[in-house]
Structures are given as C-alpha cells and as structure tokens.
Structure 1
Amino acid sequence: MASRQITQETFDTVVQENITEFEMEPDEAVNEAVQQFESQGVDLSNIIKALPKPAGSDENDRTHEILQTLDSLRKSVDLSALSEMGDHLLHFSEQCKQGMAYRFLAAQKFAYPVVLSAWKLALGDQDLMMKALYAMSSLTDGQPDLLEPVGQQLLVKTLGENVSHAEVTLVGIRIIRHVCLKHEQNRQDLVKSGILPLLTGAMVKHGSDAEVVREACSALKIMTFDDDIRVPFGHAHEHAKMIVMENNGLKVIIETAKGFMNSSSVLSELCSTLARLSVRNEFCQEIVDLGGLNFMVALLADCIDHQEVVKQVLSAVRAIAGNDDVKDAIVNTGGTDLIVLAMNQHISNPQICEQGCAALCMLALRKPENCKVIMEGGGALAALQAMKAHPKEVTVQKQACMLIRNLVSRMRDFSQPILEMGAETLILEAQAAHRDCDDVAKAALRDLGCKVEFRELWTGQKGSLAQ
C-alpha cells in the first residue's frame, strides 16, 4: 500500500527533467514520472498529473493553471476589484472540479483565505456572493479541515440572511455537507451556531425544490454521523435528538416527502435520513404516528424496481423496527411480504439482501407471531437464497444467520423446515469463510438443533495472575 508522499513541485521537476534531459514528449514525460514514483511506493492521489502551463511569455516559467487563476483572484481581492473578481471565482470553481489533486494544491497555496476574503467582499452583491459560495463549495469538497471559526460564522450568517433565496440556500448547505463529512468538530461547532433550524427551515421554505430538499436532508443526515476517526466519541446521538425534539425533524421530512412521490432520488435521501434519526423508541413510534410507515410501505410497493429506493426504505424499516410495537405495525401493514418480494426481485444486489435480512431479523426478534408470518411469506428461503447468491459478502451472511436464529429461537417447530432448505450447509460455509460470522453462525446452528462445538476461551483456572 502506497504511503510515501511527495510535493507537486517534486513531481513537476521530474516531469521537466524527462522533457529536457531525455527529450520526451510531454505526455510521455508525465507517464514516465507516474510510473517512476508509483514503483517507489509513492501515493500520487493528491498530485496533478499534467505538465504545468507557461505563466507568461517565458516558456520556462511554468505553473499549473489553477494557481495562475488563484494568483489573479488574490490580486483582485487585494484591490477590491469586484468586476474582475467574479470571473476569477468562476474559473477557480471550474478548475477545482477537475479533481481532488487540483483542490489540494490550491489549498496548499492558501486558497481558503483568499476565497473567504472574496466572500466577505461580495456580501452586498448577491450575484457575486453566489460565485464566491460556489468557489468555497468546490474548494472544501473533500477538505473539511479548511473551515475555521470565521468561515463558520460567515456561513451561518449567509444562510440566515438569505433564507428566501433558493440558490444561496442550496450552495450554502452544500458547503455545510462538505465541511461536516468526516469532521466532528465542524459538526459540533455548526450545531452550536444554530445550523439545525436553518436546515429544517430550508426544507419547509423550499419544500418544492428537489435540489434544496435533497441537500438539506443529506446535511441533516451527516450531522448524525460518527465518521471522524480522530475523535473517540462524537455527538451523533445528541444531534439526532436535537433534530427531532428541537427542530421537528421527523414531521418536516415526512411532510416534505409527500411532494416528491415521483422523485426516487429525493425519496431515497429522505428515507435514509429517517433511518439515521430513529435512535430512540419514541422516535420510531412518532414516525408511525406521523404516517411515515404507511408512506414507506407504499413507496416500497410503488418503487420496487428502483434499487436505491428499495435499499433506503429497507434500511429505514430496519431502523424503526427497533420498537416492539412498531414491529407489529410493520407486519400488519404487509411489510414482510414486500421485504421478501424486494429481496427476491433484487437477489443479485448484496446491499438489498443485507438490508432485507436485517429488517426481517428485527421484525422476528422477540416476536413469535411475526416469525410465523415471515416463515409463511418465504422470508427464511429468501435469506438462504441471499446466502447462496453472495457467499463472499460477510454482511449478507451475518444478517441471514441472525435472521435464521431469531426465527427458530422461540419457534423450534421451524427448525426442521429451515434445515430442509439447506440452512446447515450454508451456515457452516459462512462460518468457515468469514471470521466475523463465527458467533452468529454458532448461535443459529445451536438453535436449529445442529451439533455445535463451543470452545471455552478461559475458565478462570490454572495459575494465578500474581507473579
């Protein structure tokens, strides 16, 4: 695995040497440099693999175009030349979109304070401010560490003062999404600054704008992530509670969804966010009380051919089934039959198989009557078919084993029919292939009545801890 790093200047120097000393053509020189560094274990993911362009009349004075644009932008900001600044911001945004390596190089050359200054200068001019927002959105994509307190305050201020402007709201929320993904401190700081009511408010104010709704919903969902490996404990649960209890998040999402029944991409995002917010028993029940369950069941039936929608609906059903009363409500609305239908129709999709098995697993937990409905509806057979279809997918194997275990733990009469479907062989294969499946496989085999060898890891005997 590549781990060594080099600077853009080092790469560019080697490319230039290939051209001048070995008389290579530019493309050949770049390819040779790439091969040379990769053979040495150098990570080139943040390196622009292209020959810099001449900065002026001197052919030897070369620099990458994004840095030339940044330099022009910096000069226009220093001179407060607003008419020129707009064009430079647009060009800078387009060049940032060429890839992470371009954004990384720009950030290294202090692009963030330049764009931030341009944003401040543009506050009185909405058209110019939009160009600055687009530039900041492009620059921060994949680089959340760039944001600092002044930028946080400016972001919240801009959104708060432009709640009626759909495009400002859209790009501002996109910046939030970029700076909060994999960055716990930014999430916490922005939540403290009052970003949550701005996000839910945007969904209400612009409830018919698909792009704004999708971005706002995605940003709310990111606030519930725990994806920053630098932080031992995040505030994901607290943020989810705040979205629901202080900002009426569940009602906002469910009401908004009713206006997008023909938009699978928006509905997928809404369902995905509902799943992230189902962190407490009462929240799961509130989703049902607000009509969210009926909406999801209808959505699953109507969009059974749309894989992304199906996956997100199954994920949401799995999440709200953590409430025992909601389990019964899901079964009573015919949810189990639709889950099995979705799994059978998309048996080649491992994510749908995983989420389907997980949802059925939750419905079966501590609910013998639900187990009967799942068995009669073909749930066990669908899970075993998923295991056959995806032998290398540990998550599918694990969830299927857990489902089988839940089906028979309180309904031993189901053991023989499930064994006759070939369950024992499939579970043993999963156990042998995946170390993470060992415990759940043994539990399933034990409750099926199969012979299981349990190994005592420690008995508390033989010797003392004292030296």
Structure 2
Amino acid sequence: MACRWITQETFDAVVQENMTEFEMDADEAVKEAIQQFESQGVDLTNIIKAVQKPCGENETASNHAILQLLGSLRKSVDSSSVSDMSKILVQFGDQCKQGLAHRYLAGQKSAYTVVLAAWKLCAGDREALLNALYAMSSLTEGQPDLLEASGQQLLMQTLQEQAGDAEMTLFTTRLTRHVCLKHEQNRQDLVKAGILPLLTGSIVTHGADADVVREACSALRIMIVDDDIRVPFGHAHDHAKMIVLENSGLKVLIEAAKVFTDNPSVLSELCATLSRLCVRNEFCQDVVDLGGLNFMVALLADCIDHQELVKQVLSAMRALAGNDDVKDAIANSGGTDLIVLAITRHLSSPQICDQGCAALAMLALRKPENCKVIMEGGGALAALQAMKVHPKDVNVQKQACMVIRNLVSRTRDFSQPILEMGAESLILQARSVHRDCDDVAKAALRDLGCKVELRELWTGQKGSLVR
C-alpha cells in the first residue's frame, strides 16, 4: 500500500535524468519514472506525470504549463492589468481542470493568493469577474483547505451583490460547493455568514434556470452531510433544520420541481435534496402537505424509464416513510406498486434495487396493512429477484433481507408463501457471503420460522475478569 510522498520537483528531476543520462524519449522517461516510484511504494496521486514545458526566451529553466500561467497571472496582478488578467484566468482555470495533480501543484505555489488578488481586482468587470470565479472554482475543487477568512468574505459579498445575475450566481454557487465538500469548518463559517438564504433564494430568483437550480441543490446537499473525517461531529442536522424552518427549503424545492416536469436531470437533483432534508418526522409530513408526495408518485409513474430520476424518487420516498403516517399516505397513493414496478423494470441496476427495497422495508415496518399491499403487489418476489441478480452487492442483500423480515415479523401468514419463493436459500447465501448481512439475515430467517442459531453475546451478569 502506497504511503510515501515525493515533490513534483523530485519526479521531474528523475524524468529529466532518464532523458539525459539514459537517452529515453519523453514518454518512455515518464513511464520509467512512474514505475520506479511506484515500486518504492510512493503515492503519485498529486504528481503531474508529464514532461515539463520549455519556458520563454528570457527564462532559464523549464516548467509545467500551469506554473507558467501562474507566473503570467502574478505579473498581471502586480500591474493591475484586468484585460490581460481576464484571459489568463480562463487559461489557468482550464489547466486546473486537467486534474487534481495540476491543482495541487498550483496550490503549493501560492496560486490561491494570486487568484484571490485577481478576483478582487476584477470586481468592476463582469466578464473578468466570471473568469476569476471560474479560476478559483477550478483551483479549489478537491482542495477546500485553500479557502480562508478573506476568501469567505469575498465569496459572500459576491453572492449577495450578484444575486440577480444568473451566470454569476451559477459560478459562485459552484465555488461554494467546492470549498464546502469534505470541509466542515468552511460549511459552518459560511452558514454563520448567512449563505443558506442565498442558496435557497437563488432557486427562487432563478427558478427557470436549470443550471442554477441544479447547482444550488447540489450545494445545499453538501451543507447537510457529515463527510469531513477530521471532525468527530458535524452540524449537518442543524443545517438541515435551518434550511427547512428558517428558509422554507421544502416549499422552495417542491415549487421549483413544478417548473421542470420535462427535465429529469433537474428533478433528480431536487428529489435528492428533498430526501436529505427529511431529517425529522414533521418534515416528512410537511412534504406531503405541500403536495410533494403526490408530485413524486406522479413523477415515478411518468418517468419510470429514467434510471437516475427513479433512483432519487425512491430515495425520497424511503426518507418520507420514516414517518408512520406518511407510510400510509404512500400506500394509499399507489406508491408501493410503483416502487415494485421500478425494481422489476430496473432489476439490473443495483442502486435502484437498493433504494427500492429500502423503501419497501420502511413501508412494511410496523404496518401489517402495508405488508398486505406489498405482498399482493409482488414486493417480496421483487426483493428476492434483486437478491438473485445482485448476489455480490451487500446493500441490495441487506435491504432485501430487511423487506422479508418486516413483511413477516407481524404477519406470519406470509412466511410460507415467501419460503416457497426460495427465500431461505437466498438469505443463507447472503449471510455466508456478506458479514454485514449477518444480523438482518438471521432476523429474517428467525421470523420466517427457519432454523437459525442465535448466539447470546452477553448476559448482563457480573463476572470475574480473566487476564
């Protein structure tokens, strides 16, 4: 396993040595250097694996294209030449898009400070400002640590001042997403600065602009995840409550969805965001009261062949079914039959099988009436078929076992029909192949009436400690 790191300069020096000392051509020299370092356990993720570009006539050493552009950008910033700066910012952003290694090298050479200075100088020129936002967004993708206090202030200022400009909002929102992904502190700082109403407001203001709505939804979702492994606890739940309670997030998203009934990609983003916001019982009910459930049921029926949208609608229904009253509303609206149809129609998709089975499991939990509807609609058979098609997918196996367990836990009459479908062998196979399935698989087998060994791990009695 790679655990060592080198600098770009070290890699470049070895490539140059291969070319001069061993007379290799450029491609061969790079290939040889890669093999040499990887054999030593060096991680080359952040290394540009290419030969340096020759510099200009007045420069003595060669350099990578992104560093040459960074040098030119620094000169234009020093001279406050906005016209030159604007062109270079686009080229620099394009270079950053080449890959993380390019962005990392630029970041190591103080590119953030230079681009930030350019951003400030471009404030009065719309085209130049867009280019500065593009460059900063490209640079910070995968490098959210680069952002600091002055950058946060400038980001908030730009979002506020340019709120009426759709393209400017799009670029600034994308930058927000990049600097908040896997960075809890940036999220908390920007939320405290008031970014949430700006994000929901952008959906309202530019509700007919698919790109803005899509980007804003993505940014909102990043505000409500705990994906930064460096912090023990995030504020995802608090941020979700703020979006819903203080910024009418659910209503904003549901109203926006009505504009894009013929745009599955935007609807997918909206449904994905709705599902992430349903973190409390009352929020699930609010979605129903706002017409969101009826909209999603109709969406599932009308767009059943669009895989990504179906997956996100199923995810949203799964989240909504966390509320027992909403479980009944989904069943009464015909949602269970559509979920079964989605699984059978997209049986080859492990993601849809996973989300579909999870939704059925939630609907069946503590609801014997729903269990009857699911059984009559072929839900148990669909779950077992998903297990057959995706034996190596642990998520599908777990959720399908959960469906079976919930169907029979309070309605034992269903046990024999489900066993006749071949459930026992499939569940035993899932248990043997996937360690993570063991508990739910044993619970399903137990409630089906199958023989299963239930080992008592701890009796709760005191005893002596043997060292």
- For the residue of structure 2 that corresponds to 1:54, the secondary structure is coil
Is 2:467 the partner of 1:464? no
Q: In structure 2, the residue corresponding to 1:53 is in which secondary structure?
A: coil
Provide the residue aligned with 1:265 in structure 2. 265
Q: How far apart, in 2, do the equivalents of 1:312 and 1:174 lie?
A: 21
In structure 1, the partner of 2:12 is 12
Counterpart of 2:307 in structure 1 is 307
Secondary structure in 2 aligned to 1:343? helix
Following the alignment from structure 1 to structure 2, what is the Cα–Cα distance between the partners of residues 380 and 90?
55
2:325 corresponds to: 325
Per-residue CA deviation, residues 229-274 of structure 1 (Å, 9 max, x unaligned), is 0010000000000000000000000000011111111000000000
Deviation at 1:464, TM superposition (A): 1.3
Partner residue in 1 for 2:101:
101
Once residues 239 and 301 of structure 1 are traced to their aligned partners in structure 2, the CA distance between those partners, rounded to angstroms, is: 32
- In structure 2, what is the Cα distance between the partners aligned to 1:272 and 1:463? 50
Provide the rounded CA distance (Å) in 1 between the counterparts of 2:466 and 2:416: 50
Query: 1:127 and 1:245 mapped to 2: Cα distance?
Result: 37
Quote the residue 1:449 is aligned against. 449
Question: Structure 1 regions of 5+ residues with no counterpart?
Answer: none
Residue 462 and residue 198 in structure 1: after superposition, are their counterparts in 2 closer, same or farther (change >3 A)? closer
User: 1:66: Cα distance to partner?
Assistant: 0.4
**Does the alignment pair 1:376 with 2:380?**
no
Matched, 1:183 2:183: yes
Give the corresponding residue for 2:285.
Answer: 285
Q: Indicate whether 1:153 and 2:188 are aligned.
A: no
Counterpart in the other structure of 2:33: 33
Aligned counterparts of 1:24 and 1:58: Cα–Cα separation in 2: 27
Q: CA deviation at 1:125?
A: 1.5
C-alpha change, 1:462 and 1:283, in structure 2 (3 Å) is closer
Aligned to 2:276: 276
Q: 2:45 maps to what in 1?
A: 45
Partners of 2:340 and 2:333 in 1: CA distance: 14
| DSSP 3-state at the match of 1:274 | helix
Query: C-alpha displacement at 1:405, in angstroms?
Result: 0.6
TM-score, normalised to structure 2, is 0.98
Q: Distance in 2 between matches of 1:227 and 1:59?
A: 44
The CA distance in 1 between the partners of 2:58 and 2:137, in whole Å, is 34
Shift of 1:181: 0.7
Q: Which moved more, 1:217-226 or 1:52-61?
A: 52-61
Q: Given residue 70 of structure 1, which amino acid in structure 2 is its aligned partner?
A: L
2:99 and 2:139 mapped to 1: Cα distance? 10
How many positions carry a matched residue from both structures? 467
Q: For 1:433 and 1:273, how far apart are their aligned partners in 2? A: 33
> Aligned partners of 2:116, 2:58: CA distance in 1, in Å?
32
Report SS of the residue matched to 1:356: helix
Q: Per-residue CA shift, 1:155-181, capped at 9, x if unaligned?
A: 001010111101110000000100111
Measure, in 1, the Cα distance between the counterparts of 2:154 and 2:381. 56
Separation in 1, partners of 2:59, 2:128: 34
TM-score (norm 1): 0.98
State the distance in 2 between where 1:461 and 1:24 align: 72
Query: Which residue type is aligned with residue 96 of structure 1?
Result: C
Deviation at 1:57, TM superposition (A): 2.9
**Structure 1 position 461, deviation (Å):** 5.5
Q: Given residue 137 of structure 1, which amino acid in structure 2 is its aligned partner?
A: S
Paired position in structure 2 for 1:237: 237
CA distance in 2, matches of 1:322, 1:292: 15
1:312, 1:275 → 2: CA distance? 8
Matches within 5 A, 1:325-404: 325-404=325-404
Alpha-carbon distance, 1:3 to partner? 1.8
Question: What is the CA–CA distance in structure 2 between the aligned matches of 1:235 and 1:466, rounded to whole Å?
Answer: 42
SS of equivalent to 2:319: helix
The one-letter code of the counterpart of 1:322 is G
Greater Cα offset, 39-48 or 359-368: 39-48
2:406 is paired with a residue whose SS is helix
Counterpart amino acid of residue 284 in structure 1: C
> 1:445 touches 1:451 (CA, 8 Å); kept in 2?
yes
> Which amino acid letter does the alignment assign opposite residue 390 of structure 2?
H
CA distance in 2, matches of 1:56, 1:177: 37
Distance 1:458 1:405 in 2: 24
Instruction: Between 31-40 and 135-144, report the one with greater CA deviation.
Output: 31-40
Instruction: Give SS of 1:354's match.
Output: helix
CA distance in 1, matches of 2:455, 2:39: 46
Task: Measure the CA separation in 2 of the matches of 1:3 and 1:54.
Answer: 32
Query: Partner residue of 1:127?
Result: 127
Query: Aligned to 1:62, what secondary structure does the other structure show?
Result: coil
Give the distance between the partners of 2:340 and 2:14, measured in 1 at CA.
58
What is the CA-CA distance between 1:56 and the residue it aligns to? Answer: 2.0
Whole-Å separation in 2 of the counterparts to 1:387 and 1:466:
43
Cα distance, 1:402 vs structure 2? 0.8
SS of the equivalent of 1:229 reads coil
Asked whether the equivalents of residues 54 and 60 of structure 1 are also in contact (C-alpha less than 8 Å), the reply is no
Distance 1:172 1:58 in 2: 37
- The CA deviation at 1:465 is 3.5
Q: Summarize the alignment of residues 134-173 of structure 1 with structure 2, pairs less than 5 Å apart.
A: 134-173=134-173
1:206 maps to what in 2? 206
Residue identity in the other structure for 1:410: R
Question: In structure 2, do the counterparts of structure 1 residues 381 and 112 end up closer, same or farther at CA, with 3 Å as the change threshold?
Answer: same
- The structural deviation recorded for 1:459 is 3.2
Q: Is the 8 A contact 1:76 1:85 kept in 2?
A: yes
CA displacement, residues 383-423 of structure 1 (integer Å, 9 cap, x when unaligned): 00001111111111111111111000110000000000000
Cα offset for 1:457? 1.6
Structure 1 equivalent of residue 72 of structure 2: 72
Counterpart in 2 of 1:111?
Answer: 111
Q: Distance in 2 between matches of 1:400 and 1:260?
A: 33
Greater mean alpha carbon deviation, residues 225-234 or residues 60-69: 60-69
Provide the C-alpha distance between the structure 1 equivalents of 2:439 and 2:96, rounded to a whole number of angstroms. 48
Question: 1:425 maps to what in 2?
Answer: 425
Q: CA separation of 1:69/1:83 partners in 2, compared to 1, >3 Å: closer, same or farther?
A: same
Structure 2 distance, partners of 1:80, 1:379, is 66
Q: Which amino acid counterpart does residue 57 of structure 1 have in structure 2?
A: E
Q: Equivalent residue of 1:314, what SS?
A: helix
Q: Give the deviation of 1:427 after TM superposition.
A: 0.5
Identity over aligned pairs, percent:
76
1:458 deviation in Å? 2.6
What is the match of residue 216 of structure 1?
A: 216
* TM-fit CA distance, 1:318: 0.1
Q: Distance in 2 between matches of 1:132 and 1:442?
A: 57
Aligned counterparts of 1:459 and 1:327: Cα–Cα separation in 2: 36
Distance 1:336 1:285 in 2: 18
Give the superposed CA RMSD.
1.2
* Match of residue 63 from structure 2: 63
Partners of 2:58 and 2:239 lie apart in 1 by 55
